[in-house]
Amino acid sequence: MSPSNRNIPPEERLIFALDVPTVEEAKSLVEELGESVRFYKLGLEIFMAGGYYEFIDWLRARGKKVFVDLKFFDVPETVKRAVRQLNGRGVTFATVHGNDGILRAAAEAKGDVKILAVTMLTSLDQGDIEDLGFKADVKSVVLSRAKRALEVGCDGVISSGLEAPALRENLDERLIIITPGIRPVKNTDDQKRTVDIEDAFRNGADYIVIGRPIKNAPDRKAAAEEIQRRIAAVFARAQ
């Protein structure tokens, strides 16, 4: 497949997972990375550190884009009210987990936030899916969940790069695909369904999420800049 032709600046296609225990450490990392990262994902760890909204404001004041990755999962009305709290805060994406009713409620309340449905965590493989009681292969589960998410008003999905080609082949081009579990080199951690940078985009991803390969690098800014170089090369070749 060819890379996504969505009109996204190449430097914004890298989303850094800001998974650290304190806001102070998060701010230090953002300042260290400088212009090498334009887009940040804020998950549960930094949420539990306190000052989540204030930190979003701090990032936005520095021209950064924000992805709220809290995977909202509750009764539909509660999810609707939670998503509504994000309106007007400059948040680009928010993740929601769950069935059609939960996803629909989030979509109804999204305002200026794009809602991303979680299809299947990249830390799960076929064996885990069977343990959870699903009587289908991973690709079928992801495709089914993504199709329903689009039908109820979500803007996109979180999906492994392994399933992205099937999503692009079978679903509307409006669907935004964000691919986590990116490993620039051989994988040795808890992520199971991984791809590298180039394959993720060739498979149809619009954005990739990278955390540990940058955070654990000896020179974090250099690692991010190298990833940005590789992303730019993918899209330069596609033109």
- Taking residues 127-155, what's their average pLDDT? 74
Cα 237 from Cα 239, distance rounded (Å) = 6
Instruction: Categorize the per-residue pLDDT at 193 as very low, low, confident or very high, splitting at 50, 70 and 90.
Output: very low
pLDDT at 100 over 70: yes
Question: What are the counts of helices (DSSP H) followed by strands (DSSP E) for the chain?
Answer: 11, 8
Instruction: Evaluate whether residue 43 is within a structural domain.
Output: yes
Residue 189, domain CATH? 3.20.20.70
Active site (catalytic) residues: 71
Instruction: Evaluate whether residue 4 is within a structural domain.
Output: no
Closest CA to 154 of 202, 83, 52, 56: 83
Cα 155 from Cα 113, distance rounded (Å) = 9
Instruction: Evaluate whether residue 2 is within a structural domain.
Output: no
pLDDT at 189 over 70: no
How do residues 170-183 score in pLDDT, each as one tens digit?
887 889 999 987 86
Instruction: Evaluate whether residue 194 is within a structural domain.
Output: yes
Range in 22-36, 61-75, 81-95, 132-146 with the lowest mean pLDDT: 132-146
How do residues 159-173 score in pLDDT, each as one tens digit?
888 888 888 888 878
Contact 205, 179 (CB under 8 A): yes
> What global pTM score does this model have?
0.88
Instruction: Evaluate whether residue 5 is within a structural domain.
Output: no
In the block, which residue shows the tokens 């939960």?
A: 102
Q: How many domains in the chain?
A: 1
- Taking residues 108-134, what's their average pLDDT? 70
Instruction: Evaluate whether residue 221 is within a structural domain.
Output: yes
Which pLDDT belongs to residue 137? 63
What range defines the domain where residue 15 resides? 10-238
Instruction: Evaluate whether residue 16 is within a structural domain.
Output: yes
- Residue 170 CB-density burial (10 A; 0-12 exposed, 13-18 middle, 19+ buried): exposed
